[in-house]
A and B are shown apart, each in its own frame.
Chain A
């Protein structure tokens, strides 16, 4: 396989963007990446998107987005793995370039969630329709069940969960593209409205519109586009049952652990060598489960990390310096690519007030559903 690098990134603001359509969002992010690389040529496009068909009634995004980018004729396909669609689009682009089939590929993600659809019902289609949704399960409801299982197994408290939101909002307050650029207190989190016990509104990522894009090419061609490429050292995906009831342990995300282990092996590093990470904090409990499954904290100890500052900027392993899904926003199909954008900037020293100084290795973990799919990428500054 050829070595593959990210050479450029583009991203929209994340938020309730009522004035922007699905295609507007994609074009803004993709054109940002093309402009940064100084190119108007692409060999292929992958569009990560969870559910434009349900959110805005539009399928067949591959050719639609290629056409609106002024690239009609270029092979272009939509990639779907629920909220992990973006991460899987990046992995697909990596494989196409690593194989030698293409030299310059755009990996993008886009979601337009604020357009009047029943967002709760649409997101729930990423979980098992026959055994979970039929009985009234919602996405926050399923993560609430995971939270209760984690509380029972490891003593995790509602305050531990609140600290994850507080920490990520501190980071997001420094990110000009974030949906919520403001800090929170634990009191505000713990007094916000109940969504599904024990999860409250401020434990949950918001409903967002947005897009993100990165350009990948062989490392030995990267100098055509940038002086500061970031190499993709590891990429891995794993799956688990859609239904929580079929899991070995509801408090542990097997797919996250498996995708992490495979990515570490491919990159030839371990969790202790990672300098900065973006993990899938769709709900505060998810960040705790993910940092445990990825080896950033021992099992059962992840609950302390946000409060102690271990996972905050300046801490042992800063997690979600972008603000994470909670504060930056979570346009589901765009999230995996937005994580890569944050790490591309961190590893090229372009993160401003959020910069993790001297960062060499970055890890992005993006998951679909309640962790039925998880994809991990490990990046290295060169």
Chain B
């Protein structure tokens, strides 16, 4: 990715900025000029919470060249409390432990080294919302599944 483009995308990537539609309330991430739901142009810029829930996920075993050193890695669609959805990697845990419904925190991380120049590209990754393993996790997980089934 050429660096002007990288700089242009920084507000949404670094600050998790999104657009909330003033007419229908839909939250779009990254920001949009026109609401995809109702075509309203009356949107306000909001900053998303740094947390969310995994909606669906996969573990990528065959990556593009830029991510060769990362594989296998978990890739998930995460929904924030504001209703914004984003695709992020889930880090700091065994990829096999990622599951739908899991609570995550969004943390600012290095995402990739871009192309031959090795430009460092930053953004957000999800991490488990609680330390993995032990009784604390088991307790939190059982509470979560109660909520999920409620």
Measuring CB to CB, which residues of chain A are less than 8 angstroms from any residue of chain B?
A: 118, 120-121, 124, 129-138, 140-141, 144-145, 148-149, 152, 193-199, 241, 243-246, 250
Contact = CB atoms under 8 A, between A and B. Distances in A.
Given A148-B56, A244-B77, A138 B62 contact: yes
A194 B88 contact: no
Nearest to B124: A135
A244 B58 CA distance: 13
Closest 9 CB pairs of A and B: A144-B58, A245-B85, A121-B64, A197-B59, A148-B56, A194-B61, A136-B67, A149-B56, A141-B60
Given A135-B88, A243-B87, A246-B85, A140 B121 contact: no
Contacts of A194: 59, 61, 72
Contact of A136 (B29, B89, B100): B89
A148 B30 contact: no
A130 B9 contact: yes
A121 B111 CA distance: 16
A135 B86 CA distance: 10
A136 B64 contact: yes
Contacts of B87: 131-132, 135, 137, 243-245
A152 B58 CA distance: 13
Nearest to A199: B58
A256 to B, nearest CB: 19
A118 to B, nearest CB: 5
Contacts of A134: 1, 111-112, 121, 123
5 contacts: A118-B64, A130-B9, A136-B111, A137-B75, A244-B87
Interface in B73-124: 73, 75, 77, 85-89, 100, 111-112, 121, 123
A145 B75 contact: yes
B112 to A, nearest CB: 7
Contacts of B55: 149, 250
A123 to B, nearest CB: 9
Main secondary structure on B side of the interface with A = strand
Contacts of A144: 58, 60
B137 interface: no
Contacts of A246: 28, 36, 85
A16 to B, nearest CB: 18
Contacts of B86: 131, 245
A241 to B, nearest CB: 7
A152 B56 contact: yes
B75 A141 contact: yes
A120 B62 contact: yes
A248 to B, nearest CB: 10
Interface string B2-17: 0000000100000000
B65 interface: yes
A193 B72 CA distance: 13
Contacts of B123: 134-135
B65 A121 contact: yes
Contacts of A137: 60, 75, 87
A141 B100 CA distance: 16
B57 A148 contact: yes
Given A118-B64, A121-B64, 16 more contacts: A118-B65, A124-B64, A131-B29, A131-B87, A136-B75, A138-B62, A138-B64, A145-B58, A148-B57, A148-B58, A152-B56, A244-B87, A245-B85, A245-B86, A250-B55, A250-B56
A272 to B, nearest CB: 32
Nearest to B85: A245
B63 interface: yes
Nearest to A128: B87
B64 A120 contact: yes
Contact of B58 (A120, A130, A196): A196
Contacts of B1: 129, 134
B88 A145 contact: no
Given A141-B60, A196-B59, A197-B61, A136 B30 contact: no
A368 B14 CA distance: 31
Contacts of B88: 135
A136 B61 CA distance: 11
